[in-house]
Homo-oligomer: A and B are copies of this chain.
Amino acid sequence: MFSFALGTGTQNSKGEWLEVFFPTPLLSPAAALGKETRQALGAADDARVIPFQSAQCKELAAALRGAGHDDQAQLAESLAAATRPLVAVILDEDSAPESAPEAYLKLQLISHRLVKPHGTRLDGIFAVLKNIAWTNEGPIDVEELAARRLQARLEGRALDVESVDKFPKMTDYVMPSGVRIGNALRVRLGAYLGEGTTVMHEGFCNFNAGTEGPGMVEGRISAGVFVGANSDLGAGCSTMGTLSGGGNIVISFGENCLIGANAGCGIPLGDRCTIEAGLYITAGTKVTVIDNEGNEANTVSARELAGHSDLLFIRHSVTGRVECRTNKTAIALNEALHAHN
């Protein structure tokens, strides 16, 4: 079985799910867990999203305990006290999400570091998520916002809408260990932040993207991008993601890389690569490659350097030329470039 989770969430006035919080989702539990749960809740054998009532929590807890999952049983008992709708999500396989509860489960699996970016199917996720106003009075369907705002005002409260987005911020659902986040709004649920990652106030991390950790993130990790251990993104730097200019190339950086402040990168990098502050490398940038003796070895499009290690990208401040300096001889360099093609 792919995943199992019990949660509580918010619905709009039509009873449609807006969002679900799963305190302790499971990856790859025994299939018995799903079977017992479906039985206890009187659901069909292939039911994925099973709403349930407080009154069912006791019976559910017994079934979960029977299946050897004391932790989940304890959670079921806690949920009996919940004042909001309850739901069990059971995913036999890692299929594309067909409802908001499934999508929220998958995003939380990633942020809990149970699944890596690109490690679970998210196709069609935009279609199953509603556009939600995230407010100081909880998530509100954007269609119902105007009425709620007027009501709050009449009662003397100013409704505070911090975001209107299909994705919530990660910290309202999951806070991984060993991580700091200066501005939590800039890390969407579905981000994967490895132990030892600091996302400073200027940093950003989209869903299905993240860091191996440790590392300092003061730049923007676009959807789909993954950053290796001990690599830093300087303040204001840009990465091209699968949803933006990067197209189908999945951008990833190896270990010990540094993207300078206000720089940018549109190609995958190997290990120990540096892009100097303020320089933007796109796949089409013509780059003059300089070998370990300081001689020009080649002029290539940056995309041909994709994935290579030990590269230093600069724009020469006297000639204005974009250069890539390596610690390899011209011969080794040309071999490496051809090997990559």
Chain A contacts to B: CB under 8 angstroms: 8, 10, 21, 23, 78-79, 81-84, 131, 133, 136, 138-139, 142, 145-146, 149-150, 153-166, 169, 171-172, 175, 179-186, 201-202, 204, 218, 220, 222, 234-238, 240, 244-245, 260-264, 266, 276-280, 282, 285-288, 299, 315-322
Q: A131-B180, A180-B164 are in contact. Are A285 and B175 (CB under 8 A)?
A: no
In the complex, the chain B residue whose C-beta lies closest to that of A19 is B158
| Contact B153–A180 (Cβ < 8 Å) | no
Chain B residues, Cβ within 8 Å of A23: 146, 149-150, 153
Residue among A202, A276, A278 having the largest count of chain B Cβ atoms under 10 Å: A278
In the complex, the chain B residue whose C-beta lies closest to that of A79 is B154
Q: How many Å lie between the Cα of A127 and that of B319 in the bound state?
A: 46
In the complex, the chain B residue whose C-beta lies closest to that of A319 is B320
Chain B residues, Cβ within 8 Å of A277: 238, 245, 264, 266, 280, 282
Chain B residues, Cβ within 8 Å of A318: 286, 288, 299, 321-322
| Contact A204–B202 (Cβ < 8 Å) | yes
Chain B residues, Cβ within 8 Å of A139: 158
| Contact B280–A262 (Cβ < 8 Å) | yes
Q: Which of B84, B133, B218 is within 8 Å of A156, CB to CB?
A: B84
Q: How far is the CB of A19 from chain B (nearest CB, A)?
A: 9
Q: How many Å lie between the Cα of A159 and that of B262 in the bound state?
A: 34
| Contact A183–B184 (Cβ < 8 Å) | no
Supply 5 further A-B pairs (C-beta < 8 A) apart from A164-B181, A165-B180: A82-B156, A83-B154, A162-B183, A220-B236, A276-B280
Chain B residues, Cβ within 8 Å of A185: 162, 182-183, 201
| Contact A278–B261 (Cβ < 8 Å) | no
Closest 10 pairs (CB-CB, A-B): A320-B320, A278-B280, A161-B171, A83-B156, A317-B322, A238-B261, A138-B158, A286-B317, A277-B280, A164-B181
